[in-house]
Structure 1
Amino acid sequence: MQNLQFKNGLLYTSVRLIHNGKEVIVNDVIVDTGASHTIILSDYLLDLDVGFLDTDELVKSSGYGGIVFSAVRKKLDRVCLEGVCLEHIKVDFGEIDPYERVNGLIGLDFLMRSKVVIDLEGLTISN
């Protein structure tokens, strides 16, 4: 079970990215049931020391207000929210918030595949 923070009218958490033996914690990630796909700020690719591969995809997504962003979609070894982990999940890396207040969004791809339960009263997420 992982605690969520309710701030600025949104649910925030931390996520752990693991790839090729390296691990990074990303704080200030929004749990976003309105996002179809998980996206993390591209700065974290440097922390994971992940290069670009032929299997990576360039994708476009539209954010709040219809702003279109480009991102690179990469398959990571593992993405975890405390005890809730998924292996071999594709994550988008790109710009999310031009004001840099948000480091990522956990989207429905992760939430549905991991079958998590979001407890809004207790502000927790678990599976």
Structure 2
Amino acid sequence: MKNKLQLKNGLLYTSLNLRHKGKSIIVDNVIVDTGAFHTIIITDFLDDIGAEFSNDDQLIEASGYGGTTCYAVRKRIDTISCNDIKLKNFKIDFGEIHPNERINGLLGLDFLEKAGMILDLVDFVMYKK
């Protein structure tokens, strides 16, 4: 199945489904970002999914948009999916992306590579190889 991407302001957007310990949430307004090494979601969604901190979580320093540096929590969640493309036991960074923009996340190269994604920039779709 092909995942239709939205082109807004020169960026590709998609939605993700996060599932953790029986709770599931949809995260809209996620940029498909091949330049982001790790997938990052804003911290608001930690509460929404009921994800509590655990000993396995890591506090990481991330550099991002405009060269800014911030801290994020790298947390393993049960499942991340983009339409029918699903990865289990996947580590996501939860942190701030850009305080003045309403971007809920960046779907990074870690997901794209592990899922075997192909980005079709003619039809603006993404699918598994």
State the TM bucket, normalised to the shorter chain.
over 0.9
The ranges of structure 1 where at least 4 consecutive aligned residues each deviate by more than 2 angstroms after the TM superposition are: none
| Correspondence 1:110 to 2:119 | no
Partner AA of 1:38 in structure 2? T
What is the Cα deviation at residue 65 of structure 1? 1.6
Q: How does 1:1-127 map to 2 (within 5 A)?
A: 1-127=2-128
Q: TM-score, normalised by structure 2?
A: 0.96
What is the Cα deviation at residue 101 of structure 1? 1.5
Q: Give the distance between the partners of 1:28 and 1:111, measured in 2 at CA.
A: 17
Output the aligned Cα RMSD: 0.7
What is the Cα deviation at residue 64 of structure 1? 2.0
User: In 1, are the aligned partners of 2:65 and 2:98 still within 8 Å (CA)?
Assistant: no
Percentage identity across paired residues of the two chains:
50
Q: Give the distance between the partners of 2:17 and 2:45, measured in 1 at CA.
A: 11
Q: Give the distance between the partners of 1:97 and 1:76, measured in 2 at CA.
A: 23
Q: Deviations over 1:68-121 (max 9, x none)?
A: 011000000000000111000000001001114200000000000000111111
User: In 1, are the aligned partners of 2:85 and 2:115 still within 8 Å (CA)?
Assistant: yes
Q: TM-score, normalised by structure 1?
A: 0.98
Q: Give the distance between the partners of 2:42 and 2:80, measured in 1 at CA.
A: 14
Unaligned runs of 5+ in 1: none
Unaligned runs of 5+ in 2: none
Q: Give the distance between the partners of 1:116 and 1:79, measured in 2 at CA.
A: 14
Q: Give the distance between the partners of 2:84 and 2:123, measured in 1 at CA.
A: 17
Q: Give the distance between the partners of 1:101 and 1:8, measured in 2 at CA.
A: 13
SS of equivalent to 2:46: helix
